[in-house]
A and B are shown apart, each in its own frame.
Chain A
Amino acid sequence: SQKIEQNSEALNIQEGKTATLTCNYTNYSPAYLQWYRQDPGRGPVFLLLIRENEKEKRKERLKVTFDTTLKQSLFHITASQPADSATYLCALERGTYKYIFGTGTRLKVLA
């Protein structure tokens, strides 16, 4: 069965540094992958989508890479700020209507 792994340990970084979060998957070749942000007590909010034929996608301070050979996506936040502190989830499409979510990585940016 398909499996997604995100680092379950919290990631603490200093303000201004680049945060890098990892999403690894097995037993599947998704056509695209999505990243979401979730704040405590709230639902996930969509951030970025990257397709299998795209190596990299950027949006403001966010960058996502997609390596279909390694079966891995990296999510980068440059010039991180305390407001970036949240849990970040990756999600793979699993057919037209279904998705598989990772467990998420909690990021804390220290001032």
Chain B
Amino acid sequence: NAGVTQTPKFQVLKTGQSMTLQCAQDMNHNSMYWYRQDPGMGLRLIYYSASEGTTDKGEVPNGYNVSRLNKREFSLRLESAAPSQTSVYFCASRPSGGDQPQHFGDGTRLSIL
């Protein structure tokens, strides 16, 4: 019963470094999401994948890329990290169906110096 697993849990980067955040779900969900959570800003959608083979931009996609590797895995890449990308990143998945809830991982805490 792992649900949504995110790795790593913590990471510190220097400005300009690259990094890939990994996310995997074992619930056979079609849709997957990446959010960032900042104090006072709430959860903001970065990218989502409605189904395997598709990805779409969310509210704050600049500076990020994603890959839906297969149905289970959805990764988020920072090509050239900036201090403004310091945040907590959450991955979520959801079954098909309009009103299905999202299932979240426990986040990756990323600091960029």
Q: Would you call A44 and B98 a contact (CB within 8 A)?
A: no
Secondary structure class of chain B's binding surface, majority of residues: strand
Q: Does B104 contact A (CB under 8 A)?
A: yes
Q: Does B50 contact A (CB under 8 A)?
A: yes
Q: Which stretch, B12-20, B41-49, B65-73, B77-85, touches the partner chain A?
A: B41-49
Q: Does A27 contact B (CB under 8 A)?
A: no
Pick from A31, A97, A102: contact of B48, CB under 8 Å = A97
Q: Would you call A49 and B99 a contact (CB within 8 A)?
A: yes
If A97-B48, A98-B58 touch, whether A89 touches B42 (CB-CB below 8 Å) is yes
Q: Would you call B40 and A103 a contact (CB within 8 A)?
A: yes
Q: Would you call A102 and B42 a contact (CB within 8 A)?
A: yes
B92 to chain A, nearest CB (A): 8
User: Counting chain A CB atoms within 10 Å of each CB, which of B31, B42, B58, B98 scores highest?
Assistant: B42
Q: Does A63 contact B (CB under 8 A)?
A: no
If A43-B104, A43-B106 touch, whether A96 touches B42 (CB-CB below 8 Å) is no
- Return the chain A residue nearest B58 by Cβ: A98
For residue A93, which residues in chain B have a CB less than 8 angstroms away from its CB?
98-99
Pick from A4, A31, A102, A104: contact of B99, CB under 8 Å = A31
- Return the chain A residue nearest B38 by Cβ: A103
B98 to chain A, nearest CB (A): 6
Q: Would you call A96 and B102 a contact (CB within 8 A)?
A: no
* A97–B95 CA distance with the chains assembled, in angstroms: 10
For residue A42, which residues in chain B have a CB less than 8 angstroms away from its CB?
106-107
For residue A31, which residues in chain B have a CB less than 8 angstroms away from its CB?
98-99
Q: Which of A's residues lie within 8 Å of B, judged by CB?
A: 4, 8, 31-32, 34, 36, 41-46, 49, 51, 89, 91, 93, 96-99, 101-104
